[in-house]
Amino acid sequence: MKKILTCLALACAIHTASAQIQAQIETFPISSVRLGDSQFKKNQQADIYYLLGLDADRLLAPYLKGAGLIPKAENYTNWENTGLDGHIGGHYLSALAYMYAATGNEEIGTRMDYYLSELKRCQDASGNGYLAGVSNGPAMWKEIAEGNIRASSFGLNDRWVPLYNIHKIYAGLRDAWLMCGRKDAKEMLIKLTDWMIQEVSQLTDEQMQDMLRSEHGGLNETFADVADITGDKKYLQLAHRFSDQQLLQSLMRAEDNLTGKHANTQIPKVVGYKRIADLEGRADWDKAATFFWDVVIAQRSVSIGGNSVREHFNPTNDFTGLLESEQGPESCNTYNMLRLTKMLFQTSASREYVDYYERALYNHILSIFNPVQGGFVYFTPMRSGHYRVYSQPQTCMWCCVGTGIENPARYGEMIYAYQGKDLLVNLFIPSTLTWDGITVTQENKFPDEPSTNIKLNMKKAKKMAIKIRQPWWCKNMSVKVNNSAINDAKVENGYLVIDRTWKDGDALHVELPMHLTAMQTPDGKQQYSFLHGPIVLAAETGRDNQVGMYADDSRGGHIANGPKIPLDQMPAIIGDPETILSHLKPVAGRPQTFELSGLTLPQFENMKLVPFYKLYECRYQIYFPLYSSAEWNEKQEKIAAAEKERMALEAQTVDKVYCGEQQSESDHFFASSNSRNGSENGTSWRRTSGSFSYQMKADGAKTIRLKGFGDRQSVLVSANGTAIGTFRFNREGLISAELPSSIKADKLTIEIAAEAGRETPRITEVRLCK
């Protein structure tokens, strides 16, 4: 066996020997916290039904097939039998582990144990530690082990992101061990990690980094976790090998090169950087993770705490595309940003991380669950007047279903924390904490009522500090202990500190006055979202024509592709920034409800704003443009004309692909020879010196329309093997051509090719139109 990575192994050993980055704050295991009566508890109970409604044998089918065993049932459809077979199975194990720890539900525990026993049967049959659901995986992994690597941003050796896929079962096994102490899960995790060490043992650093161009989830984090679990440094070396150096080096230089990058490819990498930094005491990697968090939260996120448009980071200086698209912030992104936020909070003790955590938890994570029918949201459109699509348990197997089924089980993990012997109250969610002989019960109707009550039960008196977070949105927080006001409490690092000897039955009452905030998009444009305390407010705008609101099993079923309301028909505010909050008036007797006045369209005057997380199965508006009277008169015609043009194009569109964007291309069964993708000012593109193709719906399409950057090169276009023609972009960056009348099919394979010895221009969009 040739010796490789000598420098990397040495560096790993040196850093491992140095001091770890010590946690300043410790969070409680999820098993120590039980939720009380609230929307969080209701969602958690509904998620249990969703989990038990899934057929474990169907989720296990890809793993049995991968091990050469006969499955007990067939794969689920949707993403589970079109290339990402098995990925939900890993999330499912994580969700079962967290839910059993969070609730003690015995049926969930029994399901988890059955699931683990079947996975063990698969791994034992493999004989070498391998365990995955990747379709025809052994042949692919053999190619990779031999150095035959064909990587792209969303593919590896003709499979749909298999490294991302296998990461999910790594994480599931880790969670079953750490959350529930299942020894079989620990043993399987170590065997699977040893298999991966052998798998990449002959690959050079260059080959590894080439392979990591393909989305790979948080493999570096899980391998670091295995190092921590076992105490064996060889797993830290593997974690280093699976760390994308291109992103890491730019972050260490404090360079924000994120525009146009697939957001949820990057976030798990950074979670891994942070995990490695903590274990090895790497201040530079820790700073890289902190810089990433800073720029994503401050410059790339909207008010609900989410980020991305069509899964990609949009330009920091222009949020127009995000506010116009039906494919707004992706749920997976926020799931992973919360994981990173928790890690940064633990080593910094900085309140700002909990402030963000609270805002994203209430306004994005809580809002993606349908509280009546169940089901999870992939994209949360910021487009005014649009709506969300909800998964159904037997038909929808998206990535955001995977993280979605985990979220309710994790609601309780940041409510409390401890610092030495002192207790921190971070979030005001009804719950009960059991800790070191103390039971802490928090009861409230927050956020409908701006206060919380905390009661202590303990066997013997104890001297300690209780530290209650003073949120960014609360100016005049006050505390009573046993009905007596505490006027001399000090504030440390954003926490109100009450240090005393506590005894059984002591009670705290905390007043948390809220105020209204108008939050602009980070590009500084005059478009505002309103918050009351930490809660994002939104208006219901209708319930008509929510096509596909309950998703089917089609590849694009997660996208709200129904009619878009023209933006010139949605209300804006006439006023000025200094007095914008004067347009909101509270509605008597209705908590967290406000009337919004001074709008451009009379039919919307005095529309009601309520917490966004309470809206579901409806169209809505979160952001409101602000105009002066003169600006509105001037811009109204321009807005209407531009929107009319966009809407006309959408009405004529049968199907469309955004070139270079991972999910859009995957949903259209992208195939390629010698192509590459990139981004120009936030717009993704693809070009080729060979060809690339998509499978697109025809449904009576008469023309094909290409959009791109108008380079001088030619483009050869064909449909189902029939040449359409050779074209060049016009000055507007457009190509439009009629489809041959001889082609009659429900689906067309559209191929884009280059002239011999040349390369095509950068193509951003392909549409089939009526």
Tell me if the bond preceding 447 is cis, omega within 30° of 0: yes
Q: Residue 682: which pLDDT band, with cuts at 50, 70 and 90?
A: low
pLDDT at residue 630 greater than cutoff 90: no
Name residues whose C-beta falls within 8 Å of residue 206's C-beta, 6 or more positions apart in sequence. none
The whole-number pLDDT of residue 18 equals 53
Q: Which of 10-24, 299-313, 331-345, 688-702 has the lowest mean pLDDT?
A: 10-24
Length, in residues, of the chain: 770
Q: Which of 517-521, 628-632, 665-669 has the highest mean pLDDT?
A: 517-521
Full DSSP string of 297-336: HHHSB-TTS-B-BTTBPPPTT--HHHHH-SS--BHHHHHH
| pLDDT tens digits, 507-547 | 999 999 999 999 999 999 999 999 999 999 999 999 999 99
- Structural Rg of the chain based on CA atoms: 27
**CA-CA distance, 692 to 711, in Å (whole number)?**
18
Whether the predicted model's global pTM rises above the 0.85 cut: yes
**CA-CA distance, 163 to 159, in Å (whole number)?**
10
Q: Residue 681: which pLDDT band, with cuts at 50, 70 and 90?
A: low
Is the model more confident about 615 or about 679? 615
| pLDDT tens digits, 441-479 | 999 999 999 999 999 999 999 999 999 999 999 989 999
How far apart, in Å, are the Cα atoms of 43 and each of 49, 342, 479, 593, 727?
Answer: 10, 22, 30, 22, 53
**CA-CA distance, 78 to 396, in Å (whole number)?**
6
Residue 620's region, left for phi above 0, alpha for psi from -120 to 50, else beta, is beta
The three-state DSSP-derived secondary structure of 695-750 is: EEECCCCCEEEEEECCCCCCEEEEECCEEEEEECCCCCCEEEEECCCCCCCCEEEE
| pLDDT tens digits, 391-446 | 999 999 999 999 999 999 999 999 999 999 999 999 999 999 999 999 999 999 99
pLDDT at residue 153 greater than cutoff 90: no
Q: Residue 17: which pLDDT band, with cuts at 50, 70 and 90?
A: very low
Q: Which residues pair with 627 in a beta bridge?
A: 574
| pLDDT tens digits, 578-611 | 999 999 999 999 999 999 999 998 889 889 999 9
pLDDT at residue 13 greater than cutoff 50: no
pLDDT at residue 496 greater than cutoff 70: yes
Q: Comparing C-alpha atoms, which of 695, 634, 652 is closest to residue 670?
A: 695
pLDDT at residue 10 greater than cutoff 50: no
The whole-number pLDDT of residue 449 equals 97
Is the model more confident about 103 or about 740? 103
What's the average model confidence in pLDDT over 121-131?
A: 98
Q: What is the largest CA-CA distance in the chain?
A: 86
Q: 753 near 721, Cβ under 8 Å?
A: no
| pLDDT tens digits, 178-193 | 999 999 999 999 999 9
Q: 177 near 186, Cβ under 8 Å?
A: yes
